[in-house]
Each structure stands twice: as C-alpha cells, then as structure tokens.
Amino acid sequence: MTTTTADNADAVTTAAWRTVDRTPLSDDTVSRIDRWWRAANYLSVGQIYLLDNPLLRTPLAREDVKPRLLGHWGTTPGLNFLYAHLNRVIKEREQSTIYLTGPGHGGPGLVANAYLDGTYSEIYSDITADAEGMRRLFRQFSFPGGIPSHVAPETPGSIHEGGELGYALSHAYGAAFDNPDLLVATVIGDGEAETGALATGWHSNKLCNPAKDGVVLPILHLNGYKIANPTVLARIPEEELRSLMVGYGHKPYFFEVPDDAPDPAAPDDAHADAHRRFAALLDDVLNDIADIKARAAGGDDSRPAWPMIVFRTPKGWTGPDHIDGKKTTGSWRAHQVPLSNARDTAEHLGVLADWLASYRAEELFDDNGTLLPDIAELAPPGQLRMSDTPYANGGLLLKDLRLPDFREFAVDVPAPGATIAEATRVLGQWLTEVVRLNPDNFRIFGPDETASNRLQAVFDGTDKQWNAELIGPEVDEHLARVGRVVEMLSEHQCQGWLEGYLLTGRHGLFNCYEAFIHIIDSMFNQHAKWLKVTNHIPWRRPIASLNYLLSSHVWRQDHNGFSHQDPGFIDHVVNKSADVVRVYLPPDANTLLSTYDHCLRSRQYVNVVVSGKQPAPNFLTMEQAVAHCTRGLGIWEWAGSEVLGTDPDVVIAAAGDVPTLEALAAVDLLRIHLPDLKVRFVNVVDLMRLQDNTEHPHGLTSDAFDMIFTTEKPIIFAYHGYPWLIHRLTYRRTGHANLHVRGYKEEGTTTTPFDMVMLNDLDRYHLVMDVIDRVPSLGSRCATLRQQMADKRIAAREYTRSHGDDIPEVKDWVWPAARKLGVEAAGTSDTGGDNE
Amino acid sequence: MTTTTADNADAVTTAAWRTVDRTPLSDDTVSRIDRWWRAANYLSVGQIYLLDNPLLRTPLAREDVKPRLLGHWGTTPGLNFLYAHLNRVIKEREQSTIYLTGPGHGGPGLVANAYLDGTYSEIYSDITADAEGMRRLFRQFSFPGGIPSHVAPETPGSIHEGGELGYALSHAYGAAFDNPDLLVATVIGDGEAETGALATGWHSNKLCNPAKDGVVLPILHLNGYKIANPTVLARIPEEELRSLMVGYGHKPYFFEVPDDAPDPAAPDDAHADAHRRFAALLDDVLNDIADIKARAAGGDDSRPAWPMIVFRTPKGWTGPDHIDGKKTTGSWRAHQVPLSNARDTAEHLGVLADWLASYRAEELFDDNGTLLPDIAELAPPGQLRMSDTPYANGGLLLKDLRLPDFREFAVDVPAPGATIAEATRVLGQWLTEVVRLNPDNFRIFGPDETASNRLQAVFDGTDKQWNAELIGPEVDEHLARVGRVVEMLSEHQCQGWLEGYLLTGRHGLFNCYEAFIHIIDSMFNQHAKWLKVTNHIPWRRPIASLNYLLSSHVWRQDHNGFSHQDPGFIDHVVNKSADVVRVYLPPDANTLLSTYDHCLRSRQYVNVVVSGKQPAPNFLTMEQAVAHCTRGLGIWEWAGSEVLGTDPDVVIAAAGDVPTLEALAAVDLLRIHLPDLKVRFVNVVDLMRLQDNTEHPHGLTSDAFDMIFTTEKPIIFAYHGYPWLIHRLTYRRTGHANLHVRGYKEEGTTTTPFDMVMLNDLDRYHLVMDVIDRVPSLGSRCATLRQQMADKRIAAREYTRSHGDDIPEVKDWVWPAARKLGVEAAGTSDTGGDNE
C-alpha cells in the first residue's frame, strides 16, 4: 500500500500493482459489466441523436432528433467496453489509473462514462443523474452553447483532447514519468497508429524506468477503418502485426470479436463471451505488469517486454448492421454519424428507435432515469474513478518548484561587454541546481540536443534516462536508468512527453534547435488551445507553463546553413490567444537567467525563450538584468548617446542576442563617425510589450510606448525573426510609419556569423546606412560615410571568401567600455558541439 | 530490356531487375571497390578539413587546414561504402538507381562520389578532375561563397536535402510511384529512424504496387549514435530489431562490421572481408527483388516481403579510433568534426595527417591528381551514374499534363447566387478527367480525406491504390491494387510522397483538412527552400508546383469545433520567398476550377488553394471567373452600389468563400437599409495581389491598388484567416490606415456555421456595424440601425441555442438577384462526410 499525498487534493490511496487470482467472472459480474457497457452505448447514441425524450418513454418522434447530427460513433462502443472492464480491475486492485483515448473524437463515450460513474454530475450540477439530467446531457452534446463533440478540456478525466491524432503514446509516457504507481491505459486508434508521432511513440518504452515510472498499457483499437478507408494495421497478417509489436518491445495480447450478426435466439451470448474473454485477458495483463513491477522493485532494472493489447472489435460495434442496404457496423460507414438522415423518413427514424431500444434502457435505469445501483457499483470509489483521477487535473497535484536563487549564477559584468559567456551554458548551471532540488517533478526534454544546446552542466546534477541497452562509460556518457533528462530524436515525442508531464501536474522544459521547432507547430496549437479553454473551466486548476528553450538559433547555423529552417515559430505562436503565449528574447546570459526563473514560476502559459549558445558578450549586470526583464523592454542609457532633456535624433531598437550585438556595434560606429547624433538605444526582451495593452496583457500603453519610441523620430529596429512581425505588433502605434525593421530574410547559405547578418542586411554597417537614410538632418552630408559603410561590407564579404573566417574588425569588436578595459572579443570561430 | 524515353533527356536504357549469378568477388574487384571507397573517404575528410595541399604532396601544415571546421564525418564513410558497392551492381545489372540519403548531413560523401564518377566536373567545370580541381573541391565545402555542408540542391544526384530528418522513406516511395524500373536505394540514419515521419514511412510499402511502381530498398544505417546519444534501434536486441522490420513488412538482411581496430599486420583484410560479405549480400538482395518483380510481372499482385538491409558499421568508420584519449570512431564523438581543434597543436595536426595518409592517396590518384582509370571504371556509364540520374533532376523528365478544358465543367450561374454547388465536388469532376488523361504521371495524395473533402467524383476515373489486404466490395469501396489516389492517415507521408513524386518529374496535389495542415509546416519549409535554391541552379530544370487543396476549412468544422486548428498555414507560407509561394482563396466553384487549372500548369511554386466543400452559392459565370482569377482581385460591380464616375463611400472587400458570402449579405443589408450609401465590393482570389509589386511578383502597383481600394475611404475587409496577415500584406499601402480587417480569431466551440462567423465578428450584421462606425457621413443618424444589427446577432445566437440550427433569415438568405429568380438557399444543415 502506498499513499500519494498532494497538497491540493484529497489523498489518493492505492494498492499499486496488486496481483489478483485469475478466476472466471461470475454471471453477475458479466451482467453488470455488460449493462454498464450498454448504458454507456445508449448514452453515447443518445448524445449524438436526441434532443428530447431521453428514455424513449414515448415513441421516438422526428422532433426528438437533433436537426444537425454531429459527432462520431465508430470508435465509441470500443472505448465504452474498455472503460467498463477497466472499472472492474481498478476497483478490485485499487489501481490508480488514467484513461487516455487517442481516438478523442469518441467524445460521447467519455462523457457517458463520466456521467455513469457520477463525476459528471458532481462537476456539472445541472446534468443530474435522472431523466431531466439525461435530457440535458444529450441536448448539450455538440450543440450550440453546449459541449464539444470530441474529448476536450471540458471532459472530466481527460488530459488528451480529440482533434489532431497521434499523441496518445507521447502524452501517456509523459503522464507515466515519475508516477511509479500510475497505470496509464492508452487507447490508440488504428487510424492514429498511421501518424508519424504515434508510430515513433512506441519507442518511448526505452526511456521509461520500470521501478521509478508508471506503466503505459497501450491498447491498439483495431476497429479496422478510418473515415473512408481501411487501416493499415488491420490489413496485415496477424503474425506481421505481432512481429511489429514485439519489435516495438511489447508483449502483445490479442483480443478479437468478429463482426458477426448476433444469434437471434441468444443475442447476449456473444457479448457475454466477449466479456469473459476480455476480463481474463485483462487480468493476465495486469498480473503480468504486477510481476514486472515486483521484479523492478527487487532491483531488476532491465527493460521488460511490456504487455500491450490488440483490441480487434467491429467499428461501430452494436450499431445497425446495414443502413439503406449498405454495410455499416464493421465498416468505415460507422465512423461518424451512421444514420445522418435519421429525421428524413419514418424508416430511418425506425432504425434509430430500434438501435436505441436494443440497449434495453429499462434494464439500466430506474423510473427516475437513474442508473441502477448494482450497475453503478461497478465503478471504483472516489478518485479511483478514471473520470475523477487527480492525475487528469494536474493543477490539483502541482507543487511549486524549489528554485535556487538565479542571482547566484550571475556572470560578472564589470562593464557592458567586458565579459564573455555562452548564455545557455550559464543557464545550464542554474538548471543543475533546479534538477537537484526537484528530483521527482521536473524534467528536461530534448531531441538529442541538450548537450549541443550547451546545457551540459545539468549532467553534473543528473543523467539522461535510458532504459535500452548500455555498453559502457567510454561511449555512454551521462546515460543511466534514471535521470531528469529525456532525449530521443523526435521533437514530437519531446513535446508530447512534456505536455503529458505538465498536464499531470509537474514542471519541465523542452530544449530544441530553433531551426526545427516548426516540426511541432500543430502540437503547440493543440496545447495552446487547451490552456486557453481551461482558463475558463473553474474546476481545472492551473498547470505549469510549457517552456521552450530554443537555441542553436537561426543566426548561428554555422555547420548547417540554409538546410536548416527559420525563426517563424515566433510568428506561429503569436497567432494564438494573447492570454496564453509569451515570447522572450534575452540579449545575454544574465537576462536569460532572469527570464527563465520567471518562466519556471509561471502557470498556464506557453513561454518561448530564444537564446544563443555561442560565446557572446554580457551586457547587463544581474541587477540590471532583473530590472530590464521585469520591465520587458527599456532604454539602455549606457548604450545611447542622448542628451537628457532633449529628444533623440533616432531610436535604435533590438530584440534578440545577435541583433542586439549588431545594433550596439552600429551605435559604436555612429558615436565615432557622427558624435553629435543623439541615439536612443532600446532593447526588447519581452516581445509582447510591443503590442498594445488592449491586445495583450503585457502590452505597453500607448503613452508609454510613445514615450520610449517617440512619435516622430525614425526607429531602426534590429529583430531576431521575420521583420513583419514587428510591424504587426506595432501597426497601431503612433510612430509606426517611422519604424524600419531589419530582420531575418532567409537568404542562402553561409558559414560565418557576420556573413549571415550581412546576407540579411542586419549587420552594423547596414544599420548605420539605415540611420543615414532616415535621419533627415544627415542626408547628403553623410554620403561619404554611407559609402564607407557599404565598402566595409564589401571588404568583410571579400575577407570571408579568402580566409574562411570573419574579418578581424568584426570578430575582435568589443563595446567601447570593454575596449577601455582591454577585453578580448568573443570571436566567432567556436564551432564545437552545434551538431545536427 | 526496357527503355525510358523522356522528351527533355537522353534516353535511359536499363535492364531493370536483372538476376545475376552470385559469384564471389574477384580480388581485383575487391581492390577497386576498396580503393573507390578510400578515395571517397579521402575526399570527404579533405573537404571537411583542408584549405590547400589537397594531395599532401608536402607535409600537412597548419595553414592547410580551414580556420573554421564545419561538417559531419560520422555518417559519411558508411554512405561512401554503399555508394561504391551500388556502383558495381548498377553497372553489372544496368539498373537505373537513385540514391537517397536520409543522413543528408553526410554531404561531403555525396559530393565526393559525384566527383569520383565525373558528374561533378561535368556540371561544375571549375572543379576539375585534377589536383587543382581537388583543391577547389575541398576549399568550397562549407566555406563562405562555397557549397553547403549538407546534401543540397547543389549536389548532383540528390532530391533529398540534409537538414530536417525524417523524410527519406516518404521521398523514396514518392520517387518509386509509377517508375516501375527504378531502384530507390534509401539510406535511413538510425537517428532519423527515431523521428515520427520516418517511423510511419515504413508502412508506405502497403501502398506500393510491385509491378507498376519502382522498388524502395531501405538501408538502415545502424552506426549507433546521434549527436550525443546512442540510437534506440542500435540498443535493442537484434531479434527485436528483426521483428520490427518483419512487422514493417520487410525481409531484413543483416550486415555488421564490428568496431575493431585493424590488424596491424594486415590492415586491409578486415575491409576486404567486409567488401566480400556486403557484395554477396547485395547480390542476394537484388536477386530477391528481381524474383519479386518477375512474379509481379507474371500477374502476382500480392504484397511481397520486400528486402531491406540493416547496415551496422562503426560511426566515423576508418577515422581516428581515439582522439585525446577519448573513444571517437564508433561513438557519438565522430558525429560531426571529430578533430575540431586540428590546427591547435602539432599533435592534433599529426592525427589529421595520419588519418589522411591512411587512405593512401598515392594508390588512388595519379600524379595529376586524377582518379586512376581502373577505379573510375567501377562507376556505371552516363545516366546510370547515381549522381547523373535524370530521376534526380525531375525537370528533365517532366511532361506537361494533358488538361481537359475546365470551362466544360463550369456550373451554370444564370445570376449571382442563383445556383448552389459544393466547390470541391465540382473540382473533383474535372480532376476525374485529369486522372484519366494522365494515367502515369499525376497522383492525388490525402490523409484519408479525399472523399471527406468531396473530391469523390475522382473515383469514377480511378481507385485508391492499396496493396495491403482486401476484404471485399462491401467495405472496400474504390480500393484497388493500382490507382491514382494514395491515402494514409499521415500528413507527413502525403507531403513526402508528393515531394518525391514531383522531384522525379511528375505532377500531383495534396488534399488536406485546413485544420491539420500545420502538421507539415516544417516539410513545407524544406521544400520551399529547395525550390528557391533550385531557381538559381541552371542545371536543375523546373519541376511541377506542389499544389495544396485545403478544404474542410476552419469556418466549417461543424463536427469538430474548437478541437481543430486554424488558418495559420497561410501565414506560415507567406513567410517564405515570394518567388515560390502563391495563395489562392477562390470564392466559389467556377473560380476554384479556374484557379486549379492554373496551378496544375505552373512550375516551381507552392500553390496553396483554400476552398470549402459545403453547398454554397455560385457567384461568377465561368467567363467572369476566368477574368477574375486572371486579375487575381477585382471589383464586383454587380455586388456594389457605386455610382460610376463618383467615389464610393466605403469599400467592402472579401477573401475566402465564407467571408465573401457574409460580405455580400452585409452589402444586401446596406442596400436595403441605406440605399444611398455607395458601396464598392472587392473580391480577392490571389492573396499576393495585396502586396506591393516590389515585394511579390504578383503584387499590385501602388497606383493600381489605390485606384481599387481608394486612398481615403474606409475599407472593411472580411478575410478567411488571421486578420493581421492582411495588415502585413498592405501596411505600405497609402490607404492602410483606413483598413479594418475582420477575420479568424479562434474563439471557442461552435456547431452551426453562423454561430461560427458571429463568434469571430465576421458576420453580416457585424460588418454592417463596422460600416456605420467607419463611414463619417453615417454616425449617429444610424444609431438605430446599428442597434438593430446588434439585436439581430443576439436573436440569431438565441435561435441556435434553442433550435440547434441557424436562424432561417440567415440560412435562407440568397443574393437579391437570385431572390428575384425564386432560388432557394444552400442552407447550412449539410453534415455528411466531413469526418475526422
């Protein structure tokens, strides 16, 4: 017996991994399971079709049927069958269980089961356990003002929305990490199984520790069809499928219910047989898991062949066999609403009435429409109910991270630019303490890039978890059976694991090359939507933010050049609701530390942090960094050349580390060549500050923006990403017409850093030319200087082509205050570790 | 003997699928293969490290080494080994072969082999087959002004760029479709094998016909390590890996070279043994394939267990075993530049010199630095060289599509709005003829959505290709062993197949739900970059455009609601170079036909076409549609209420089918309630017309834009996607400050169409309110009308909540000209087929 105590939740008492004698089901238990299943199926059909007359106490009339029939039937009876059987074993074994349904479009089924086990009425008090509540339950489904047709944040017990398919296993393993007593029963649709993310998700079992992590039980729901096609895995020989599952590291258990019409003389016999067979199989599977867990508890850290179930049942099982002469149950025609024209004719209405009647509601609900008590008893108690598990409402279990004081990890900055650091390496030192202080609720995920992104200091505090074969220390550096870092070359897995980990109440971050983060654009979408919706669901408690650390960013793809991608993930992110997205571009190491501390403390956001990993100058002391990050943007007085009390001639702004460096170098040139020019230097860490406060909660007011950026002076903005994003964020600002943005243009291949910024016209010389072009007082009197700048670009380009490296004037540049101290530049030759 | 004749290429004569007696290699052949391999390895190391002194005719000096060492060694020797051996069998069998390297970061290897077989010097005449050419070859690699470090468009023989990993198998099957005589030798890195796209790519063999399609030979390059970790597939027992490959439908052949230090007494023996063993294995594999091909030619259309090779060799094979005391070859340390500090010390320089010397260049190149003729003879002749195959320069093989006259498929439009059609269904009728007329070079790809997107008419002309099990016609509608439509529930596969198909000189389209197209954001990125780069490579001939048809768009997710995603793919696409992207939003059926005809004729673009599938009014006759699409945008005189010769009071613009409908309904309301208001109605099909002509080749000139949109009048713009994209495209326009955009805001769940547009404030009533708010002459005198409009919204919302359907006033609305004809509305209750 173990007890999980959470600060904010009732204690969940479980007897994890109990072995139970495998005895045949009693007739009574068969009956109760069958009637639960029938009740769930009835409620599912009712939700899809019925507007009224929930218990069919009067003959079904056209008006009882919804005018627009929306939803998905095909996968639902299978999900219901599994839920009923899991109820039994959870109760018998007191096994804490979360139920993940890859086929999330089977929403009616999950809602039906939550209603049957009482959770639904507890949360939504208007949906009572009687006929009127049932009427409301039916009516609200996929109805204007009601609930979504898919599994959604509104669905109790869910951490996995319907919609995009493919993430069931990733979410499942994310939920299982560091939850050693949790069973994650994971239904994988055979359609979903064809997606890339799911296909590689199987391999997550090589990164899951049998003692320290929970158990994922994959249930491959082989109902044979997608929207309009058979599924691949249903159309290969069983032996081939068995090989595939064995190859994925599983021990497959096969269960099959053929698509036969019921025997008219004994219509329930086939189902009773199915229940008995499946119950026996499920007992075997759970006993098998219990054995593995016992061996692991005894110190066996080898990777077991984890059980999985191939659950081959007819699509739309128990629905009408044929409709209008066409095969329906057991075919793709059952995928969605098989009787989409139920209101059209008396015959169709009759088909629906017969279908509903086939569940014999009178054997399931009493006169009030309440589930009969002996059926209700099938459900486990309290939070052992899958719909009520706190693991599916992670905020209930969430504990604050213990965070070391990031100020203690500050790099020393005696003067701006006077020291050099690799920002992510500094962050890694702080993260080392984070993982030490939070050994069971914080993880770092990455697609084989944690070291490349120079977070390797964390390996002083932890290892990379690896449950596949080990060879030896000569090649297996920092690999261990348990570790806070989880890596696999799949951005989909990293994202899905982190989502599952956060949704079950923990903390973490995903470090990734900026160039490849677009791989999970659609997954980010789904998670951001989930956060947005849960903000409006009072019973869902806030969860930790999803934190990205995008390094090896697009300005330093020295090894890779144009084969790598772009900074457009930021654009993608800011399309989402302002309530849930934050984008940070810390210009140096101390600002990165301050930013990340803030991110790890935050809730319900997606935080995107972009930071370089190459040696680069530090500009702000920690005190300055904290102030700057708290403001989100600000004037760097030490960098500008304004005269207090007068307007500047030009504002030079920068967001991002490389743009900040180039913008400062441009200011340096301007100070030398145009000492009278009054330059204001603005740095932006929190991109959302640029937006109006009516559009984003972090947005500056119009007055504050105008004060900083002026309303009439030219603004030259050096930005990390695509320039138009800055225009988009600021197009309502008074001075927008004066704004000139330099950013990423994605031009060709290059292999030296300064070449890269020149190719994109973001270099210091070009920024000086921009100032000359835009400050009215300069103009033709600076024609010579302008030409000098153009010549410098040509010389720099020529130098790289002859020397293969950047010109010393650029490479050795340091900020004037550092020059005075005799500081050496960061240089640009560092090429170690940024592999792909 | 079969002959492939291409209009624009030399004939490729092959003796496809010849069986060759399996005799042990002669010593001479072993020597030639080994020396080719050594030469390729030498040239690879040279490219990564050497700036000069290519043949080491003088002792290696620090100055000979590049100052910045960039590139990837680890995978390269394996790729070179395979290339050498494939050379032999291609020549013996005259087997047309394309070589796809998933580990595209092994760029030096592919360049080296193309140089050895002569292709490189033929294309790049400055890189001659002598010492000076070799010096240039080395210097240009990953050097400013030179070539990328990855396999890239610049690399002869490649259709598969390095960069993002995961698409080797998808591209391979795309290349194989309809190329029955082509062998697609496809190297899969074991890192890449962990990605989602690759993991599901294996199942493509269920959609490949053994007689009518080419053969993909997957070679799993199990070198054991990624950037800093072991790979999953290298760390599972061999029997588990065998099961996995069998489960994927393959017959695995295992080849292993252990990571042993060479015997000092006979250093070449181990390699000779490896060559003999691999040659025998490769002969077995190709004879096996030849047998399958012969059976298929004899009418056996069953799915064979296709051979695949597990190629387990040390990472960085032949490189330094240890560097600075650390295991390098056979470890992740060999991934990139193992000796990244080669210039630092004499010792390191010595390691590099010894390494280079180990290949014994004097046995490979003559005094001029030219490859010895007996080694050169290993390469097959002409276009049988993998670097010279026309299949890797698809434009050489490309034939125009035979396109039926789309005008003949026009829907009749007696008056605007007077007829109703489902636009994609109409397109499907035209596509039926396209597939009939182009039975071997046009394919339609989709993730199980072709019927749902209502293109099902195509099944009158073709079937869905399916080479897994068939059950029978009752459930296997339109499935056949050969067909023009290829479907699997993986957007990654659809995108990858289409890319491979196009890059080898064919045509096609990818139809997808708009809501999930973000899944392939990163793949789109890579292809768009490929197109952009190839535009500047003269020897690469133009290929057919990559055409998207995005249907089931975000405004009609009736079944799915908020669980589905957003219209942001358009934003993602327009981030890419204007030279290669086009976005079209046809407002009705005839404009969709005209647009798609244009897309299928185009070259070197990515065309994004967004179109609804629901019944909707037709507005333009085919004549009008052609004119409108040719202009790209235009004033719809029949819709507006301007008085010729005077300025309008307001411009109402629309882009997208749903926004066009709402905008027209708003104009209808304005005509009724404000008959004196002069409204100009503008519709935009080609989104890129909005941009300035200096930014996009389709952009309108400033004068033309100002003429249409005015410079001073309010513009109310109803747009399909996120509103800020319209701002971004037009922010330089004179009248931009007058522009007010309504678009997608992504607000919550809804299940009726009008609810959806109301939720996003894009509805007719809201547009009328916008006009009242923005036309100065209206103002408070229209306060009552404004309130009426607001009340209508409330009434419409209330109606949906009580009836579950849209209010009749909206549902039954038709354009006035159609009202006069007594036309009935399209309604909004249609719910069939839009599953997910």
Tokens standing for residue B615: 């019944």
* Last residue of one domain, picked from the residues B365, B392, B419: B392
B138 in Cβ contact with B146 (< 8 Å): no
Nearest alpha-carbon partner for A601 in A408, A396, A458, A401: A401
Q: What is the pLDDT of residue B558?
A: 74
A81 lies in the same domain as A152: yes
B661 lies in the same domain as B558: no
Four-point Cα dihedral B176, B180, B185, B191, nearest 10: 30
The β-bridge relationship of strands B419-422 and B615-618 is: antiparallel
| Cα A665–chain centre separation | 38
**Residue position matching structure tokens 């296993």:** A169
Tell me, letter by letter, the H, E, C secondary structure of A88-102: HHHHHHCCCEEEEEC
CB contact under 8 A, B244 and A242: no
Write out the residue range of the structural domain in which residue A540 sits.
Answer: 406-610
Tell me, yes or no, if B832 comes closer than 8 A to chain A by beta carbon: yes
Q: Residue range A277-295: average pLDDT?
A: 97
Q: What is the band of B9 on the pLDDT scale with cuts at 50, 70, 90?
A: very low
Name which of A67, A232, A724 is nearest B488 (Cβ-Cβ).
A232
Phi/psi at A279 (5° precision): -60, -40
Task: Tell which A residues from 5 to 34 touch B, by Cβ distance under 8 Å.
Answer: none
Rg (C-alpha) for chain A, rounded Å, is 31
* Residue A691 maps to a domain: yes
In the predicted structure, residue B267 carries a pLDDT above the cut 80? no
Q: What is the band of B475 on the pLDDT scale with cuts at 50, 70, 90?
A: very high
Phi/psi at B781 (5° precision): -65, -15
Q: What is the pLDDT of residues A394-426, one digit of tens each?
A: 999 999 999 999 999 999 999 999 999 999 999
* Residue A615 maps to a domain: no
* Min Cα–Cα distance to chain A from B173, Å: 16
Q: If phi over 0 gives left and psi between -120 and 50 gives alpha, with beta otherwise, what is residue B628?
A: alpha
Residues of B in contact with A194 (CB under 8 A): 200, 203, 488-490, 493
Give the Cβ contact number of residue B302 at 10 Å: 11
CB contact under 8 A, A559 and B146: no
* Min Cα–Cα distance to chain A from B41, Å: 19
A125 lies in the same domain as A274: yes
Average pLDDT of the residues of chain A: 93
Q: Residue range B696-714: average pLDDT?
A: 95
* Residue A1 maps to a domain: no
Tokens standing for residue A382: 């309290």
* Residue A291 maps to a domain: yes
Measured CA to CA, the distance from residue A230 to residue A224 in angstroms comes to: 6
In the predicted structure, residue A751 carries a pLDDT above the cut 90? no
Q: Residue range A656-660: average pLDDT?
A: 97
* Min Cα–Cα distance to chain A from B494, Å: 11
Q: What is the pLDDT of residue B12?
A: 45
CB contact under 8 A, B235 and A488: no
Q: Residue range B516-541: average pLDDT?
A: 96
Judging by beta carbons within 10 Å of its beta carbon (0-12, 13-18, 19+), is residue A472 exposed, middle or buried?
exposed
Average pLDDT of the residues of chain B: 93
CB contact under 8 A, A235 and B335: no
CB contact under 8 A, A144 and B800: yes
B121 lies in the same domain as B202: yes
* Min Cα–Cα distance to chain A from B257, Å: 17
A684 in Cβ contact with A690 (< 8 Å): yes
Tell me, yes or no, if B473 comes closer than 8 A to chain A by beta carbon: no
Helix (H, G, I), strand (E, B) or coil at A618: strand
Q: Residue range B688-696: average pLDDT?
A: 92
Name which of B200, B450, B832 is nearest A195 (Cβ-Cβ).
B200
A177 lies in the same domain as A125: yes
A565 lies in the same domain as A646: no
In the predicted structure, residue A830 carries a pLDDT above the cut 80? no
The DSSP code sequence of A644-663 is TTS--SEEEEEESHHHHHHH
**Which residue of B194, B800, B834 is the best one to mutate when testing the A interface, meaning the one whose CB has the most A CBs within 10 A?**
B194
B416 lies in the same domain as B284: no
Q: How many structural domains compose chain A?
A: 3
**Residue position matching structure tokens 């919302």:** B797
Judging by beta carbons within 10 Å of its beta carbon (0-12, 13-18, 19+), is residue B322 exposed, middle or buried?
middle
Strand partners, A741: A717
In the predicted structure, residue A560 carries a pLDDT above the cut 80? no
* Residue A747 maps to a domain: yes
Measured CA to CA, the distance from residue B205 to residue A165 in angstroms comes to: 22
* Min Cα–Cα distance to chain A from B219, Å: 17
User: Which whole-number Å values give the CA distances from B266 to A804, B142, B263, B559, in the listed order?
Assistant: 40, 36, 5, 70
Q: What is the band of A6 on the pLDDT scale with cuts at 50, 70, 90?
A: very low
The β-bridge relationship of strands B679-684 and A183-189 is: unpaired
Nearest alpha-carbon partner for A149 in B354, B750, B338, B433: B750
Tell me, yes or no, if A335 comes closer than 8 A to chain B by beta carbon: yes
In the predicted structure, residue B534 carries a pLDDT above the cut 90? yes
A299 lies in the same domain as A363: yes
Q: What is the pLDDT of residue B827?
A: 61
Q: What is the pLDDT of residue B451?
A: 87
Q: What is the pLDDT of residues A589-598, one digit of tens each?
A: 999 999 999 9
**Which residue of B559, B579, B613 is the best one to mutate when testing the A interface, meaning the one whose CB has the most A CBs within 10 A?**
B559
B69 in Cβ contact with A831 (< 8 Å): yes
A562 lies in the same domain as A709: no
B450 lies in the same domain as B575: yes
Tokens standing for residue A282: 């499920």
- Report ipTM (2 d.p.): 0.96
Helix (H, G, I), strand (E, B) or coil at A509: strand
* Residue B305 maps to a domain: yes
Lowest mean pLDDT among A33-42, B383-392, B570-579: B570-579
B490 lies in the same domain as B558: yes
CB contact under 8 A, B70 and A488: no
The dihedral built from the CA positions of residue A366, A127, A123 and A394, taken in this order, carries a sign that is positive
A680 lies in the same domain as A731: yes
Q: Considering the entire predicted model, what is its pTM?
A: 0.96
Amino acid identity for residue B44 in this structure? S
Length of chain B: 836
* Last residue of one domain, picked from the residues A343, A366, A392: A392
Q: What is the pLDDT of residue A138?
A: 98
In the predicted structure, residue B829 carries a pLDDT above the cut 70? no
B334 in Cβ contact with B71 (< 8 Å): no
Q: What is the pLDDT of residue A451?
A: 87
Residue of A nearest to B144 (CA): A801
**Which residue of A136, A227, A557, A579 is the best one to mutate when testing the B interface, meaning the one whose CB has the most B CBs within 10 A?**
A227
For residue B655, give the CATH number of its domain. Answer: 3.40.50.920
In the predicted structure, residue B586 carries a pLDDT above the cut 50? yes
Q: What is the pLDDT of residues A561-619, one digit of tens each?
A: 666 789 999 999 999 988 899 999 999 999 999 999 999 999 999 999 999 999 999 99
* Residue B5 maps to a domain: no
Angle in degrees, 0-180, between the axes of helices A589-601 and A622-631, rounded to the nearest 10: 50
For residue B516, give the CATH number of its domain. Answer: 3.40.50.970
* Residue B723 maps to a domain: yes
Tokens standing for residue B642: 């301007």
* Min Cα–Cα distance to chain A from B561, Å: 7
Share of chain A above pLDDT 70, in %: 96
Q: Residue range A215-226: average pLDDT?
A: 98
